[in-house]
Structure 1
Amino acid sequence: MSLARRISVGVAGLAAVGTLIAACPAPAHGHGGKPGAGRTVDLQMLALNDFHGNLEPPAGSSGSVNELEADGSVKSVPAGGVEYLASSLRTARKGHDRSLTVAAGDLVGASPLLSGLFHDEPTVEAMNKIGLDVTSVGNHEFDEGKAELLRLQNGGCHPVDGCYQPGKTFQGADYPILSANVVNEQTGRPLLQPYVVKNVKGVKVGFIGVTLKGTPNIVTAAGVAGLKFLDEAETVNKYTKVLKQQGVNAVVALIHEGGVPVSGSYNYNCDAGGAGTGISGPIVDIAKKISPDVDALVTGHTHNSYVCTIPDPAGHPRLVTSASSFGRLYTELDMKYDVRTHDIVRTSVKGTNHVVDRVQPKAADMTALIARWNTLAAPVAGRTIGWISADIGRTGNRETPLGDLIADAQLAYGKTLDPTTQLALMNPGGIRTDLVYPSTGTEGDGVVTYAEGFAVQPFSNTVNLTTLTGAQIVAALQQQVSGANLAAPKILQISAGLTYTLDTTKTGADQIVAGSVALGGTPIDPAASYRVAENNFLAGGGDGFAALGQGTNPLVGGDDLAAFAAYLTAHSSASAPIAPPAADRVTVIP
């Protein structure tokens, strides 16, 4: 791989063109061991996060990464697919006597049909084959509840769908799924192992796995029933002490929470302005609270790519990494292990994000795995559900064409349940990929298959109806840019007829211009009642939309993907495909 295809950051080194290695002062007492304190051996860690069951190469905007070129331009590089990920990891391990492969959660959940149709058993099988050693739990591991998560760990056939392959029982994950900060509400005991110690040819490394404490706010209530999510830093510090008491001094935290880098290119220099300057978001505060005895932080959740240093509580720089999402990148961490102190030499730790490009040979065993599961999925996956005339995308942090289309589909479905339904709202996080034209499959340009629809909406939510007052609707729109969503706005996708003005020159709830919210051109009446269609996640107040959880007269409808598929079928044909909506329902200032 060329130097242009990577970024490296070490806690000792000088900035250099190509590798972009950032310099940071060494800690006075050499946290993690001092060079020269004893003989050292090399240790490699390969890390990924937020794979989300993307066994086949992801399409559209989800299937590439941005690469910063030497002249300052940005190039889009196709990336991802487990056939290429397996090849990349296996190539990276060559020449390394001691190598561990780790992950920071959301390996499953919100998956394309090839994995999601089978409750992510194919992804677990793939992770077993690529040699994953350990992962933390993520919020999406709770999409189907704790019992299903335990099944993915321990094995056994699905309680409803049974065994998918005749004579073959699902064996579960060969790797531990760590959930140190996810505990039973009644007993306080972790749901799964809180930590694990890996011994690679005499090198012992402890891994602690946590997910974001806000997981209950972004997962359906049923998915986290009976569980409590504890503070990330406090939990990591607790188990770091436990590991040290066991004589394990080398500790790495796998944290399903992340940050927002200053650049969208995977190979920018995160520490160009100094340690901690190139990243913001929740992981920064978490990292600053985690014990200096933790040697590195592998993170995720935000689907961003970064290799940054953030000062630990003692003020010493520490590496924090994330490898984007969907298997498009992997992070290589190289370090020295001091055999006398039994610790990682903190000043030796370097990180590099590598592209999982599609010009390398495919891993034959992954090709066979995909073919086998595709054969099982074929009767469902290939069914045509509609036609489109061009790409209909979800890219952007405001209103999107695909968001409008889904909201319109939910409004149409809502009217079949209750003809008085007037509007629909859709959360942007529930839209997982684009509808792409021409198709990446073989069914023909513009054809939308069930598999492609599933990739867009894989959560198996229901489309529910509730009655909200005009004041509650306005409050929900304000909650897009305030409260829990102040730092990272979540712009609801809205059905045709609902309009408002978003003034980005203002802050917080004031961004929703007073009096601008209208339905069919008529201003929303705060005292009036409106029948609203939304998925069960939003209807429960998810994603920080507490106002939507205050609805009355609830009616639980059917599957959201079925509603989307029915709308596409009813409103398109080969001769009259659906064009991308204009995405002009929200007027943005400036």
Structure 2
Amino acid sequence: MTLSLPRHLPLLSASLMAALLAGCATTPVSGPTQQQAAAPIEVGVIAINDFHGALEPPNQSVDAPDGQGNEVSVPAGGGAWLASAVDSLKARHANNVVVAAGDLTSASQLASSLYLDEPAVGVMNRVGVEFNAVGNHEFDRGWKELRRLQNGGCEKNTRVQPCQLEAFKGASYKYLAASTTLTDGSPLFPATGIKTFGEGKDRITVGFVGLSLKTVPTLVAPDRVEGLKFADEAETINRAAGALKAQGADAVVVLIHQGGRTTGTPDPNGCNQMTGEIEPILDHLNPGVDLVVSGHTHWAYVCDYTANTRAGPILLTSAGVYGKLVTDITLKFDPVTHKLIDKRAHNLIVQSAAYKSAKGEVANSAAFPQFQPRADVAAFIQRYKDASLHLVARPVGHLSGPLGKEEGNGTAQGGSLGNLIADSQLAATLKAGAQIAFTNPFGIRTSLIPAADGTVTFGQIYAVEPFNNELVTMSLTGAAIRATLEQGLDDTGDKQMLTPSAGMRIAFDMRRPSGSRITAITLNGKPLDPAKSYRVSVVNFLAEGGDGFSGFIGGTDRTRGGIDIEAMEDWLSAVPMRKVPEEDRTSETK
């Protein structure tokens, strides 16, 4: 009989495994005492991803089981707290290396973004990161600026002046970009890195491959990656892993800015029904890859990936987003053969300070360790916070209530916060003839919680949409609008329903075949006319086909306008108290 195993198996934590083993004691039998075998050599890989310049706690939580049958929300994140959490893991592993799977910078908090993410790099230097795979957002300011982040210096590559507070020395860690080359074939950054641990017969060598996802050109403005080529991920990994083995690597670790998502009850150490773009990459790997540290989806998981039987079990991890988690990975090697004999991982919650959310107080939990901010990192961050305070704290308007960022495992929708953003962009582009505006839910980064009197600050709205995207108004037929909306719901990649401005209603049914899931679209109570031309506004990211919405590329009679964050500020300041747009503009048939 053949036993069918699940495609992905969650790994037991070290503490749980120890408890299980403790309950399995056996009685020794009489006989000669055998010499105790030498203990395995351990290497700790400490991993993060998608930090996004989150210098301060992002006022977000990690939902996790508390071990007592309850689901709790744990306040987490912040650079100084992350540094303390990483230090605690370094103390556990005499042999250790800190790595990242991309997007350490960009789409950042204001105190980092104002200074071209030089502070985020400074925090990562202090945390002790050694290797980082280049993510898609790290190209947001162009690859020449990304090279400046690596090498240091004050060359001006954007409209913002670098080195405003201090000379910038660059990242002490190495960016890895195995799949990214210049058009002449030369590398943008190194493809791989190697670190050795121990001496003599105890010497262990671990190789690292770092790479971006091949769809980077669809996720950033085209001019930011002009002159670059992005190769297939699996082919790149197989080639680089073979080269590392030839150089004597005892284990190969892949750092890749691509990932997946799980379903069901949230568990940062679970792997329930994993899906996502990481799967086809893993399925095409050759034997030799032992660990894959992933990112991009902002999801947390620990998986034993067994679907690729040819490659053998691959440990797959992700630490979510904003430094709210850090992955503690243990690799064990046979002391004689140096063969990897065990690998396991656990996502540690970086519990920081309690905060107030749209739903109320998020308190600390005694079920998880609570970290204190590391003093030197906190002082470094405070300097940039103080310098940016005049902008962060500046009031921009009033809002009648809190607006939470929509969460969930299904089709992403923008909710009331998406409504507010779309309305602000419609108002800002009326002079260009705009009739409709759309915003993408994946571009909404956090909730918007006004003060008790309704005051909203610039820092708050910047945290919601930190991209400084330009608004573009174009002409599209009703048929083209429908086809473009369908692209967000098709079977390629993660699913999101674009949020429309006031007056539009969209119904969809995910049970229908891909390409025909939109069931109704109305504008001001009338069905959208397939043959009629409408003026539509979106940010330049979407206008250039971002998030897979290539339908916007065909828009004609384009007019470029202001910046998204300016549109939001103007919309909030236009009235004494802006009412929360609570209506459901998108509805899913269940």
**Superposition TM-score tier, normalisation by shorter sequence:** 0.7 to 0.9
Report if the CA contact (8 A) 2:116-2:162 is conserved: no
Tell me if 1:58 matches 2:61. Answer: no
Which position in structure 2 is the counterpart of 1:285?
280
SS at match of 2:460: helix
Which position in structure 2 is the counterpart of 1:350?
344
State the shift of 1:446 in Å. Answer: 3.0
Deviations 1:387-441 (A, max 9, x none): 22322122132241111100000000001x32x3211011122211110244xxx
What is the letter of the counterpart of residue 191 of structure 1? L
Report if the CA contact (8 A) 1:104-1:137 is conserved: yes
Report if the CA contact (8 A) 1:478-1:509 is conserved: yes
- Separation in 1, partners of 2:269, 2:127: 28
- Separation in 1, partners of 2:473, 2:245: 53
SS at match of 1:580: coil
Which position in structure 2 is the counterpart of 1:432?
445
Tell me if 1:411 matches 2:416. Answer: no
Structural RMSD (CA) = 2.5
Residue pairs, 1:116-515, within 5 angstroms: 116-159=113-156, 160-165=159-164, 168-184=166-182, 186-201=183-198, 202-267=203-268, 269-270=270-271, 278-311=273-306, 312-314=308-310, 316-338=312-334, 340-343=336-339, 345=340, 347-358=341-352, 359-396=370-407, 397-415=412-430, 417-418=431-432, 420-438=433-451, 445-482=453-490, 484-485=492-493, 488-513=494-519
State the shift of 1:189 in Å. Answer: 2.5
State the shift of 1:231 in Å. Answer: 1.2
Runs of at least 5 residues in structure 1 that lack an aligned partner in the other structure:
1-6, 22-35, 271-276, 439-443
- Separation in 1, partners of 2:141, 2:323: 22
Deviations 1:250-270 (A, max 9, x none): 211001111111345234543
Deviations 1:125-153 (A, max 9, x none): 00001111111111111111111111111
The 1:332/1:450 distance shift into structure 2, 3 A limit, reads same
The 1:529/1:37 distance shift into structure 2, 3 A limit, reads farther
State the shift of 1:328 in Å. Answer: 0.5
Deviations 1:451-499 (A, max 9, x none): 11111111111011111111111111222212535xx212101100111
- Separation in 2, partners of 1:367, 1:112: 15
- Separation in 2, partners of 1:103, 1:14: 24
What is the letter of the counterpart of residue 52 of structure 2? H
- Separation in 1, partners of 2:15, 2:43: 22
What is the letter of the counterpart of residue 481 of structure 1? L
The 1:522/1:333 distance shift into structure 2, 3 A limit, reads same
- Separation in 1, partners of 2:227, 2:248: 34
- Separation in 2, partners of 1:407, 1:205: 48
SS at match of 1:172: coil
Tell me if 1:546 matches 2:550. Answer: yes
The 1:484/1:122 distance shift into structure 2, 3 A limit, reads same
What is the letter of the counterpart of residue 582 of structure 1? E
Which position in structure 2 is the counterpart of 1:9?
11
SS at match of 1:555: strand
What is the letter of the counterpart of residue 181 of structure 1? S
- Separation in 2, partners of 1:469, 1:165: 46
Report if the CA contact (8 A) 2:132-2:210 is conserved: yes
Deviations 1:29-58 (A, max 9, x none): xxxxxxx99874211111001111111000
- Separation in 1, partners of 2:476, 2:215: 26
- Separation in 1, partners of 2:395, 2:227: 40
- Separation in 2, partners of 1:356, 1:462: 35
What is the letter of the counterpart of residue 253 of structure 1? V
State the shift of 1:237 in Å. Answer: 0.8
Tell me if 1:558 matches 2:559. Answer: no
SS at match of 2:129: coil
- Separation in 1, partners of 2:532, 2:380: 55
What is the letter of the counterpart of residue 368 of structure 1? A
SS at match of 1:123: helix
State the shift of 1:16 in Å. Answer: 5.9
Corresponding residue to 1:96 among 93, 98, 109:
93
Report if the CA contact (8 A) 1:8-1:351 is conserved: no
SS at match of 2:497: coil
Which position in structure 2 is the counterpart of 1:441?
none
Report if the CA contact (8 A) 1:319-1:349 is conserved: yes
What is the letter of the counterpart of residue 176 of structure 2? L
Deviations 1:69-123 (A, max 9, x none): 4454321111111111111111121142211111100111111101111111100
Calculate the TM-score normalised by the size of structure 2: 0.87
Which position in structure 2 is the counterpart of 1:587?
587
State the shift of 1:287 in Å. Answer: 1.6
- Separation in 2, partners of 1:142, 1:332: 28
SS at match of 1:326: coil
Report if the CA contact (8 A) 1:211-1:257 is conserved: yes
What is the letter of the counterpart of residue 434 of structure 2? T
SS at match of 1:279: coil
What is the letter of the counterpart of residue 120 of structure 1? D
Deviations 1:232-256 (A, max 9, x none): 1110110111112222232110011
What is the letter of the counterpart of residue 110 of structure 2? L
Report if the CA contact (8 A) 1:37-1:338 is conserved: no
Report if the CA contact (8 A) 1:335-1:348 is conserved: yes
Which position in structure 2 is the counterpart of 1:27?
none
The 1:257/1:562 distance shift into structure 2, 3 A limit, reads same
Which position in structure 2 is the counterpart of 1:274?
none
Report if the CA contact (8 A) 1:42-1:335 is conserved: yes
The 1:37/1:354 distance shift into structure 2, 3 A limit, reads same
What is the letter of the counterpart of residue 213 of structure 1? K
- Separation in 1, partners of 2:21, 2:135: 30
- Separation in 1, partners of 2:69, 2:508: 32
- Separation in 2, partners of 1:371, 1:268: 32
